[in-house]
Amino acid sequence: MKDLETRYLERLAELYPSIAQAAEEVINLEAICNLPKGTEHFMTDVHGEHEAFSHIMRNGSGSVRHKIDDVFGRSLGARDKQTLATLIYYPAEKMRLILKKEKNPEDWYKVTLYRLIAVARGATEKYTRSKVRKALPKDFDYILEELLMEKENAEAKESYYESIIDTIIRIGRAREFIIALSELIQRFVIDHLHIVGDIFDRGPGPHLIMDMLMQHHSVDIQWGNHDVLWMGAAAGEVACICNVIRICARYGNLDILEDGYGINLLPLASYAMGHYEDDPCDCFKLKGNSATDPREMKINLKIHKAVSILQFKAEGQMIQKYPEFHLEDRNLLHRIDFKKGTIRLGKKSYKMLDTYFPTVDPEDPYAFTAQEKDLIDRLRQAFRGSEKLSAHARFLLSNGALYKVYNNNLLYHGCVPVNEDGTLREVTVFGKKYKGRALYEVLENYVRKGFVSLDPAEKERGQALMWWIWLHRDSPLFGKEKMATFERYFLAEKETHAEGKNPYYTLYEEEKTVDMILAEFGLGDVEDAHIVNGHVPVKVKNGESPIKCGGKLFVIDGGFSKAYQKETGIAGYTLIYNSYGLILAAHEPFESLEAAIQAESDIHSDQRVVARVTSRKRVGDTDAGREMRERIHDLEDLISAYRSGVIAER
């Protein structure tokens, strides 16, 4: 019987049936390994801020403007550079405005095309011709390849290239060509994108961000607790559904569900108006939204309160069903004294800000009424039946995970739960104890089971754990002692609102803690390893730094969500990892799409190098490069087998 290595080489020989073909691939892979590594971008906690996210993706966190500066230096004025940058970000929209005023459109087309080709060359120069070719739009692939590969001193072909540009303009294809060039530049300033959690909630366009990510050429996602919450809702878990609707209502974004995902909220609106018609719902005022339609605002307030009560009931039933979650202290409805209008928390009673609970039975406060049961069934059907939400959930499952190790960087959204002494916290999940990496892996496994398990009991457990991940004190994606949703609505005392963070959030400044976590995830012996996470906004205005533990850990939640920008003082971070090292870009707030196009107002990004490599990183130094080295080794073994006669060439 043939040994395993010979059988493997025979399979490889089917792909490379001769010494010449195997050798050609070795030469190709060796050459690729010596190219500079592609540029990675890390973003987190985008929280539905679609316009700001889209703009940063278009400008490459400032990389497009830097590329223009590199290409043109002082040969182009600042105003012309900004106009060119805006054209690259929004080619169709900006062109429309320019051509309305341009007296000589053919001259403008010609100058602009030459400038864009120069920037495109600069953006693609460190990538292989094959990679660039694959990214070219089919309508212009041959022409673009010719123009991008032009050598500046190729005088013999000067008239050839000029003829191409002139013909593009003459036959009326300049507009489409400019759009294609602009999108190509955008494509190559971000070679790979990491989203370190929390795409959903607060902002108005998480569904639009998901649509963009699904079209992106290379992306991975580390789920945040808000993402897992939406995944749970997509799977039909009732407590997750109620939380999703409540947060949309709280931020005035119910149209995400209705228009974005086609989920009918009319039954919920009718239910809310029927029970809370005369209730001012003062505790349920919206955050970050100034809707002017009084009736719409009134309905939103009623829905906000109605679904909050449904959530507290659904969560109460979950806690009773799974006592092993040890969340009895978060069941609060039965602690209310409905006659006195107070609630008992621990040894202290607090006056409730709102005591109107028409659907809560004091004798059985967590039970749904018959009408509520019907409503919940309809909401479950609506969430599970949304084709777009299902598609987004599938994309998160196939392109996401709870953590990722990529090019010596460890990525996760929240924290690695630890005890006060810095040791890994043991967490019980359905009767078994896990900690560190094993905890992440078992939770991810259950999230996937919540969608695909053939065992109904395991599928139900997986869906329950999605809610657990959202708010449990031991969840690595939450990392706080409690989620004080009830207290923030109904109690004035700030002491009850405190949620308390896991010790991770103080110990991550200590090198021994960070080194222990890196070792836990297999990066203990790597000199330039880093941790990248988000979840907790960095309050820059208070002097807090995103750089922890001397540069071994980066917390890159800088307040992408407008709701957090008053706390942080900025509008988000992007961590950029190129062949020269790590660069942290701090972004100022995005004004508006209209201002970006018409007034050419860009997101100013303050960039600073936070880790410079001693020698330029090559593809061979990356995970992909290591796989290529293994492939080269196998191909060299195949060539030896051909030459020794063990395997015959074809």
Residue range 596-610: average pLDDT? 70
CA distance 303 to 286: 11
Residue 152 has pLDDT above 60, yes or no: no
Domain boundary pick from 426, 453, 471:
471
Among candidate residues 35, 37, 43, 46, the one with its CA nearest the CA of residue 60: 43
Percentage of the chain with pLDDT > 70?
Answer: 96
- Asked which of 82-96, 343-357, 597-611 is least confident by mean pLDDT, the reply is 597-611
Contacts of 417 (CB under 8 A, 6+ apart): 424, 425, 427, 435, 439, 474, 475, 476, 479, 502, 504
Query: Is 250 found in the same domain as 177?
Result: no
In a domain, 343, yes or no: yes
Residue range 180-206: average pLDDT? 94
Specify whether the backbone of 550 is left (phi greater than 0), alpha (psi in -120 to 50) or beta. left
Q: Residue 373: in which H helix or E strand, if any?
A: helix 370-385
What's the mean pLDDT when you consider all of the chain? 91
Query: Is 296 found in the same domain as 338?
Result: yes
Going by pLDDT thresholds of 50, 70 and 90, the confidence category of residue 615 is confident
Query: Is 24 found in the same domain as 126?
Result: no
12 vs 147, more confident: 12
Residue 153 has pLDDT above 60, yes or no: no
In a domain, 582, yes or no: no
Q: Which residues form the domain of 346?
A: 206-471
Query: Is 368 found in the same domain as 319?
Result: yes
Per-residue pLDDT at 539: 78
Query: Is 118 found in the same domain as 65?
Result: yes
In a domain, 75, yes or no: yes
Per-residue pLDDT at 155: 62
CA distance 116 to 179: 10
Residue range 613-636: average pLDDT? 93
Per-residue pLDDT at 602: 67
Per-residue pLDDT at 601: 67
Query: Is 152 found in the same domain as 120?
Result: yes
Query: Is 329 found in the same domain as 272?
Result: yes
C-alpha separations of 508 from 530, 556, 636 in Å: 12, 14, 45
Domain boundary pick from 190, 219, 238:
190
Per-residue pLDDT at 313: 98
Question: Considering the entire predicted model, what is its pTM?
Answer: 0.92
Residue range 493-499: average pLDDT? 94
Residue 11 has pLDDT above 90, yes or no: yes
In a domain, 482, yes or no: no
Going by pLDDT thresholds of 50, 70 and 90, the confidence category of residue 603 is low
In a domain, 152, yes or no: yes
Per-residue pLDDT at 290: 55
Per-residue pLDDT at 61: 85
Going by pLDDT thresholds of 50, 70 and 90, the confidence category of residue 287 is confident
Residue range 551-565: average pLDDT? 83
Query: Is 25 found in the same domain as 108?
Result: no
Domain boundary pick from 190, 214, 246:
190
Q: Where are the alpha helices (DSSP H) in 480-622?
A: 485-490, 504-507, 511-520, 565-568, 593-598
Per-residue pLDDT at 320: 97
Count structural domains, the chain: 3
- Top-ranked range on mean pLDDT: pick from 449-453, 568-572, 586-590: 449-453
CA 619 to chain CA mean position, Å:
24
In a domain, 511, yes or no: no
Residue 623 has pLDDT above 80, yes or no: yes
Going by pLDDT thresholds of 50, 70 and 90, the confidence category of residue 307 is very high
Residue range 483-511: average pLDDT? 95
Structural tokens at position 181: 């060039």
Q: Does residue 251 contact residue 243 with C-beta atoms inside 8 Å?
A: no
Query: Is 282 found in the same domain as 138?
Result: no
Per-residue pLDDT at 1: 44
The DSSP string of 49-84 is -HHHHHHHHHHGGGHHHHHHHHHHGGGS-HHHHHHH
In a domain, 38, yes or no: no
227-268 confidence digits (pLDDT tens): 999 999 999 999 999 999 999 999 999 999 999 999 999 999
Query: Is 385 found in the same domain as 249?
Result: yes
Residue 291 has pLDDT above 80, yes or no: no
Q: Does residue 280 contact residue 298 with C-beta atoms inside 8 Å?
A: no
Q: Where are the alpha helices (DSSP H) in 201-293?
A: 206-215, 225-234, 238-250, 254-255, 266-276
Query: Is 230 found in the same domain as 141?
Result: no
In a domain, 540, yes or no: no
Query: Is 245 found in the same domain as 141?
Result: no
